Structure 1
């Protein structure tokens, strides 16, 4: 009798445990979207004041950063918080959204084109220069005596859609500059004086003559040989990186001191761009976080780095950290490399679920194959996640089925699944989750896939199809999550709500 009572006691205890504590047992089928909060941010973003970033970020990052014990930390700012002059060009949030999606489309086209070049093993000597750049190149050659530097149609990735920026010190003494952070690029560069042609940036143009650590690289160096496109002039290395949206940078490849907080890193190879054009909205250049030998993590010999992307419509600040370990509660997945192109950071993903139900899709649709096709990259510069058409259609149809009680709205730009939520303050939506094998899954917050496209209450599913075999996890889906790349162990980790 005592044994029966004891068994009954434990059954009662087990039944009292909240069922949703174990995501692997019963993933939540729905979550809530705070419509009112999203619309408030959409209405306020055009009036954000430009950010003035402190140079020593480590003093302001607090206990959370210290607990991660990273050796190098810098702040991340969303585009909206430093792009006030550009935002004044938009009369409303709908116009701003259209501009964002246009930049995003150009970037994705560039990523796909670069991959195609690598997979098809097209030599840079087989490529033709971009017609739009010929006049600018001739101007650069005339003013600097350069002979014969020509670039391919696409030799890099577009930072026209760069949405997050960091404050970095270049030179000795350091000149503080805003730089785009980009996991889809390797070459670091800044605009340099004298300028044959420089676009407008928020800070003064970098002046090499004011830096005691500025040193041009010769043509026989490993750094110069690592460039996709280079030319030799009087023994010094000239670089060019051109982008799918018509942006480009041309100049000298040099080494410089880079200062982040209290850390000084000497002899970092960067491009000193004398001829630059593109949609950089005030940033002085780019900090490449890709997997190639010229990227900033590679030059640091970093074993890991992580970032957390705050809401794109906010003026909040988060951090980019190097040598920061993944916490035990991180949702992890394999970090994969493409043998045809070392820049892109691929993730071992196995599937997607909507409303707790795994979509009936073959894992091969998410897999990187031996020829370098397929697979999914994690990209900080692409905004909207792109999925192969069959995968997207399955996700969209399952999501729409779970949203059938909400009023539909017409499509918008690259979005075909939109809803009129103008009369709602909060709505229940199906949960969208990424799956990585071994029972690991990452449920996304509703605001990371249902986003406003105007300030009147129209929301769209923030995924899009692609005819390419390459899929991309964009920054809208990464918002509010610390994304860590353990380069030594080939692992990617996600820790939600850790900005």
Structure 2
């Protein structure tokens, strides 16, 4: 009998080791994951190396490619690769990024609050801006602060096409760029667009659907004027027109409604304007009737490029989650996130903490412009506390800005940290790479947990957590797909 028991135990032990199903569960759901410390610190130093980036060379040599006969794509560059930085060291760069990020998050929440509470332009005190001796009146409304725009694409505007850098933003709808004559323009990397030189420039009249879809508009000689204002005091005002938008000198889209801004002010980081990728009627995907679009955000401290693609299929093997919409505000893309886990342990959070309610409040959006993922305070505290339990072997250090959980890893070559995963309502799980949530904040070995609490009801999955992942917005099937290492 003893021998039989031994044989049975050995048999089941061997089965557990060799069974494809059981071994897959073990390999796909580890409790810890490794982070390469020297590699991460090296990237923070490369940013300030004279030979670190060769942005102009990489931009000029980039070729636009088509994924399929019905799809098109364009290059995606990190802000740092295009613009460089005036900061003296990586900690200063981090603090500047976090300051911009906080302004953007506040702006997103304020915009949602206005929509949820049904506040319209008639309810707000208008502000006046001078535009070629005409006054355009509209409310001070909050939108997305472009100060935190971290990803750019190069597109052609007009015919012949004038190539400019544009910020890409899933948190806004109206496309716009600075135009001559310029009453008030901020500094941008390329020459100001001159509509006189474009044969495809066409002003929109006030009775057009595009003009009437604007939150704030005005008429002047039966031509449509637009205004977009942001929570940090930034704004753009000008003529609302249609123009040709060209990708790589070959793939042109005609009659795109776009703002031609003659008065612009704010922290727009040197881009000529913005391409709105939101869900509203005036966004670029909506105007071209795209069934889907996707992007892959490369490392912000890298000069490598990726692509923004339209009408391409979700990559095989993607982790998909339900895409839900807010009846009060159609701009944002909400994902049906139902929970989070740390080291394989589900966090004890209420079901309502991440839910979009019937009034349009709460929920979780996926945003390309927000850097750091924001979670309601109770959810964040639960995440942080569980993460701290699994990192007691690491030397802790003082917090940095909005990060309250930081470590001194200057003497480490590699560390094992608890896994962090998102869990969706369809049962799917997205496990994050360690480098997407334990990030360097200086070049001395200080690493911080890259999540932050928010007192607002809106949670945001930011671009630090999206880096290295192709995010597909399948608009036709109401799904969001996450595909690791598909840049």
| TM band (smaller chain) | over 0.9
2:63 equivalent in structure 1: 57
Structure 2 counterparts to residues 355-434 of structure 1, below 5 A: 355-434=343-422
2:454 equivalent in structure 1: 466
Measured in 2, the distance between the counterparts of 1:361 and 1:200 equals 46
1:196 equivalent in structure 2: 183
TM-score (norm 2): 0.94
TM-score (norm 1): 0.91
Q: Judge conservation of contact 2:290–2:310 (CA < 8 Å) in 1.
A: yes
User: Structure 2: which 5+ runs fail to align?
Assistant: 1-6
Measured in 2, the distance between the counterparts of 1:80 and 1:50 equals 11
1:62 equivalent in structure 2: none
Deviations 1:315-339 (A, max 9, x none): 0100000001112311010001000
Q: Judge conservation of contact 1:297–1:305 (CA < 8 Å) in 2.
A: yes
Q: Judge conservation of contact 2:62–2:75 (CA < 8 Å) in 1.
A: no
Deviations 1:279-306 (A, max 9, x none): 1222100000000000000001000000
Q: Secondary structure at the match of 1:33?
A: strand
- Cα distance, 1:263 vs. partner? 1.2
How many residues are matched? 476
Q: Judge conservation of contact 2:107–2:145 (CA < 8 Å) in 1.
A: yes
Is 1:338 equivalent to 2:326 in the alignment?
Answer: yes
Q: Secondary structure at the match of 1:36?
A: helix
Is 1:157 equivalent to 2:144 in the alignment?
Answer: yes
- Cα distance, 1:127 vs. partner? 1.3
Runs of 4+ off more than 4 Å: 8-14, 17-21, 23-26
Per mean C-alpha deviation after superposition, the further-off stretch among 474-483 and 41-50 is 41-50
Q: 1:11 to 1:101 in 2, by over 3 A?
A: closer
Q: Judge conservation of contact 2:34–2:414 (CA < 8 Å) in 1.
A: yes
Q: 1:432 to 1:287 in 2, by over 3 A?
A: same
Measured in 1, the distance between the counterparts of 2:204 and 2:25 equals 53
Q: Judge conservation of contact 1:158–1:243 (CA < 8 Å) in 2.
A: yes
Measured in 1, the distance between the counterparts of 2:469 and 2:418 equals 20
Q: 1:234 to 1:71 in 2, by over 3 A?
A: same
Is 1:491 equivalent to 2:479 in the alignment?
Answer: yes
Q: 1:145 to 1:272 in 2, by over 3 A?
A: same
Q: Judge conservation of contact 1:384–1:475 (CA < 8 Å) in 2.
A: yes
Q: Judge conservation of contact 2:237–2:263 (CA < 8 Å) in 1.
A: yes
Measured in 1, the distance between the counterparts of 2:61 and 2:125 equals 42
- Cα distance, 1:244 vs. partner? 1.5
Structure 2 counterparts to residues 27-66 of structure 1, below 5 A: 27-47=29-49, 48-49=52-53, 51-52=55-56, 53-54=59-60, 57-59=63-65, 66=67
- Cα distance, 1:156 vs. partner? 2.1
2:279 equivalent in structure 1: 291
1:211 equivalent in structure 2: 198
- Cα distance, 1:157 vs. partner? 1.2
Measured in 2, the distance between the counterparts of 1:165 and 1:25 equals 36
- Cα distance, 1:14 vs. partner? 6.0
1:77 equivalent in structure 2: 77
Measured in 2, the distance between the counterparts of 1:487 and 1:444 equals 24
Q: Secondary structure at the match of 1:58?
A: coil
2:4 equivalent in structure 1: none
Q: Secondary structure at the match of 1:178?
A: strand
Is 1:305 equivalent to 2:276 in the alignment?
Answer: no
2:172 equivalent in structure 1: 185
Q: Secondary structure at the match of 2:183?
A: coil
Q: 1:404 to 1:90 in 2, by over 3 A?
A: same
- Cα distance, 1:216 vs. partner? 0.5
1:93 aligned to which of 64, 86, 90: 90
Q: Secondary structure at the match of 2:465?
A: helix
Measured in 2, the distance between the counterparts of 1:42 and 1:278 equals 28
Q: Judge conservation of contact 1:57–1:73 (CA < 8 Å) in 2.
A: no
Measured in 2, the distance between the counterparts of 1:342 and 1:21 equals 43
Measured in 2, the distance between the counterparts of 1:280 and 1:197 equals 13
Deviations 1:132-173 (A, max 9, x none): xx5xx23x3xxx1323x2333324211110000001110011
- Cα distance, 1:267 vs. partner? 0.2
- Cα distance, 1:55 vs. partner? 7.9
Q: Secondary structure at the match of 1:364?
A: coil
Measured in 1, the distance between the counterparts of 2:111 and 2:75 equals 29
Q: Secondary structure at the match of 2:275?
A: strand
Q: Judge conservation of contact 1:188–1:296 (CA < 8 Å) in 2.
A: yes
Is 1:123 equivalent to 2:111 in the alignment?
Answer: no
Q: Judge conservation of contact 1:70–1:325 (CA < 8 Å) in 2.
A: no
Q: 1:393 to 1:58 in 2, by over 3 A?
A: same
Deviations 1:184-227 (A, max 9, x none): 01000011000001111111110101100000001111111111
1:114 aligned to which of 107, 111, 115: 111
Measured in 2, the distance between the counterparts of 1:273 and 1:473 equals 31
- Cα distance, 1:98 vs. partner? 0.7
Q: Judge conservation of contact 2:16–2:23 (CA < 8 Å) in 1.
A: no
Measured in 1, the distance between the counterparts of 2:343 and 2:55 equals 39
Q: 1:422 to 1:294 in 2, by over 3 A?
A: same
Measured in 2, the distance between the counterparts of 1:366 and 1:241 equals 30
